[in-house]
Structure 1
Amino acid sequence: MKGRYIQVPSKDGTFAAYLTASVDGSGPGIVLCQEIFGVNAAMRAVADHLAEEGYTVLVPDLFWRQEPGVELGYEQEDFARAFALYKDFNENLGVDDIQASLTHLRGLPECSGDALGVVGYCLGGKLAYLAACRLPEVACAVAYYGVGIENALGELEGLRGRLVLHIPELDDFCPPPAREAIVQALARLPRTEAYVYPGVGHAFARPAGAHYDKPSALLAHERSIATLRRVLGPDYNLSALWEEHIRHEFDTRDVPATMATMVDQPYVNHIPTMTGGVGSKDLSRFYRYHFIHNNPADMRLTPISRTVGASQVVDEFIMSFTHDREIDWLLPGVAPTGKYVEIPMLGVVKFRGPKLYHEHIYWDQASVLVQVGLLDPAGLPVAGVDTARKLLDESLPSNTLMPSWPTSEGKPIV
């Protein structure tokens, strides 16, 4: 738990809320609306994650009128108690409490900017939707598997800000007719997005939950952050942040400075060789002993293209070097061959706020092995340095590895 509990005043009394400040000290404000299990460890983890992304997050205790301080787990008895609280919950008063939370959040020194957002899960997803439709101060709302939205589609008449809904295909609480009604209703409106996640059920994005689906959760988070950045900010120069990281990796070759550009628990995965590290300790060890001081002196990166998104950078480049030493991360266990190597590479670089979270680096290892003489390309659908040269010069011949290519010469094209 990185934040603290504060008291939020409302017209009916005060209630507790978990507050976690932006990694920058202050940032755009978000009210995070709980599941039916209260402001538990999972909700606090979501809030802390959003704080790492640059937001100041307030998580109000929306069950305070029924039973203050509810914090449930996910055992059978917890579900029974959670559903009982949900059954007696008054949604209208819940929206009132969200409005009180937004008002209080705006006045905190940790909150910057005029635009405010609401994010919610399950019960909180429905409340985030209602808040977007009813409260003019909500500039952006993101709802994960909100329950019962299909029964409140008329509320969309009041929508003024941007709205994003994440809907699991197999959500037992939102059967196909309900899902289709929601998707069709949003399709008719500007500034709205409804995403359906195939093959997953309710709570697919709950951290460490039994129904957690990592690919869907990561994609949903990326979409959420893209929307929040667009409406609320903050605006980070990810390209400059990435350049600073690269500078320390390849120019200054400074391990502490490299790690300082990253989150507390980052990871790096060089996909073809599965080298890198997970967590600060192992990644620091990897950088110090197997990467930064392990690269050839003439190693050079030639940029080809760069795509910058809301929270990630995708770099296309050519890496070139002389294989004059054993390169643990690229050719582990291979003695120096003295060969000059050129490799097309792709890096997918994810950020959390202003800090680098992970790197996924891809390349064609067969091309590398051909160039250092460890793989004979004869009779195999692999190439060597030509893969890099064709990336730089698209006019070089295509389909040279396809024996069947000449057979289509002159055939009609329809």
Structure 2
Amino acid sequence: MSDVRGSAVDIPTGDGVADSYLVHPADARPRPAVLLYQDAYGLRRHLRSMADRLAAAGYTVLVPNVFYRLGRAPVVDLPEFIDPGADPSIWERLGPVVSSLTPDLVERDAGAYLRWLADSPLAADGPVALTGYCTGARLALWTAAAFPDRVAAAAGFHGGRLATDDAGSPHVGAPNITAELYFGHADDDPSLPPEQIARFEEALTTAGVRHICEVYPGAHHGYTQADTPAYDRAADERHWAALLDLLARTF
């Protein structure tokens, strides 16, 4: 892995300060920027290690604590190995945190993150890419739709609730998206049943969005998260190959 440098940064927003993790190749040259949206478990060691791997491939990566309104990370104290099966109270604590982040707040925050990257000497001029995990896949879609001139590519992995009946469902923004998309769905995912996968695909196709959507057979929701029981090494490596391929095409 190439040498990288990571640090904690604070990003001013309209509602406070988002504590974040920034990592980039050690030479500190401007690199294409990637905004990495966390899963529901939040900014933690594993997310930082994922960002490090992405930076080692030649990118400047920003991982904001999207729940900053409720406190600095960790917003909810979690064990090093997160297993809701062993401790069901984890989701009792996380549920209200996740539901607190509405599409309007995501859009407002995304504007702050993108402005910060535009001003950073570590980020190359031009549009950025997004990647999101679990709930972060929704955030990536909302951001791509809200800032089509700033987002050139967006990826989402084991995302849930991408195409619901809600007025603010992420798929509704498809007509505004100009970025190329890649989505790797988990197999047999209760948060993204087959009817939602079909609705999501139809929305992207109808809107003329360049996209690839694939279901990873046998992979469970959360398959990229090595600090959970859902982790699937083969599916995770497939995710890395797809993500880096998308970024190579973009930049």
For 1:223-234, what aligned pairs fall within 5 Å after superposition? 223-232=242-251
Q: CA deviation at 1:178?
A: 1.1
1:125 correspondence with 2:134: no
Cα 1:9–1:160 change in 2 (3 A) is: same
Cα 1:182–1:7 change in 2 (3 A) is: same
Most deviating of 177-186 and 119-128: 177-186
Cα 1:88–1:12 change in 2 (3 A) is: closer
Q: How many Å separate the matches in 2 of 1:90 and 1:79?
A: 18
Instruction: For residues 84-134 of structure 1, give each alpha carbon's deviation from its aligned partner in whole angstroms, at most 9, with x where no partner exists.
Output: 211222232122212211110121121113121111111111000111111
Q: How many Å separate the matches in 2 of 1:15 and 1:221?
A: 27
Q: How many Å separate the matches in 2 of 1:190 and 1:93?
A: 24
Instruction: For residues 184-229 of structure 1, give each alpha carbon's deviation from its aligned partner in whole angstroms, at most 9, with x where no partner exists.
Output: 3334434211111112110111134311112222112111111111
Q: CA deviation at 1:13?
A: 2.5
Aligned twin of 2:95: 83
Structure with the larger strand share: 1
Kindly provide the amino acid, as one letter, of the partner of residue 15 in structure 1.
A
Q: How many Å separate the matches in 2 of 1:164 and 1:54?
A: 20
Aligned counterpart for 2:55 among listed residues 51, 55, 65: 51
1:223 alignment partner, SS class: helix
Could you list the structure 1 runs, at least 4 aligned residues long, displaced by more than 4 angstroms after superposition. Answer: none
Aligned counterpart for 1:34 among listed residues 33, 38, 41: 38
Q: CA deviation at 1:37?
A: 1.2
- Cα pair 2:106 2:143 within 8 Å, conserved: no
1:167 correspondence with 2:215: no
Q: How many Å separate the matches in 1 of 2:118 and 2:100?
A: 30
Kindly provide the amino acid, as one letter, of the partner of residue 182 in structure 1.
F
For 1:149-298, what aligned pairs fall within 5 Å after superposition? 149-151=162-164, 152=169, 153-188=171-206, 189-232=208-251
- Cα pair 1:186 1:193 within 8 Å, conserved: no
Instruction: For residues 305-327 of structure 1, give each alpha carbon's deviation from its aligned partner in whole angstroms, at most 9, with x where no partner exists.
Output: xxxxxxxxxxxxxxxxxxxxxxx
1:111 correspondence with 2:123: yes
- Cα pair 1:29 1:106 within 8 Å, conserved: no
Kindly provide the amino acid, as one letter, of the partner of residue 178 in structure 2.
R
- Cα pair 1:22 1:110 within 8 Å, conserved: no
Aligned twin of 2:151: 138
Q: Identity of paired residues, percent?
A: 26
Q: How many Å separate the matches in 1 of 2:191 and 2:203?
A: 18
- Cα pair 1:18 1:59 within 8 Å, conserved: yes
Q: CA deviation at 1:156?
A: 0.2
- Cα pair 1:31 1:98 within 8 Å, conserved: no
Runs of at least 5 residues in structure 2 that lack an aligned partner in the other structure? none
Q: Which protein shows a greater Rg?
A: 1
For 1:298-317, what aligned pairs fall within 5 Å after superposition? none
Aligned twin of 2:110: 98
Q: How many Å separate the matches in 2 of 1:115 and 1:205?
A: 26
Cα 1:227–1:111 change in 2 (3 A) is: same
TM-score by length of 1: 0.53
Aligned counterpart for 2:20 among listed residues 9, 17, 20: 17
Kindly provide the amino acid, as one letter, of the partner of residue 147 in structure 2.
L
Q: CA deviation at 1:24?
A: 4.7
Q: How many Å separate the matches in 2 of 1:24 and 1:201?
A: 37
Q: CA deviation at 1:149?
A: 1.1
1:20 alignment partner, SS class: strand
Q: CA deviation at 1:81?
A: 1.6
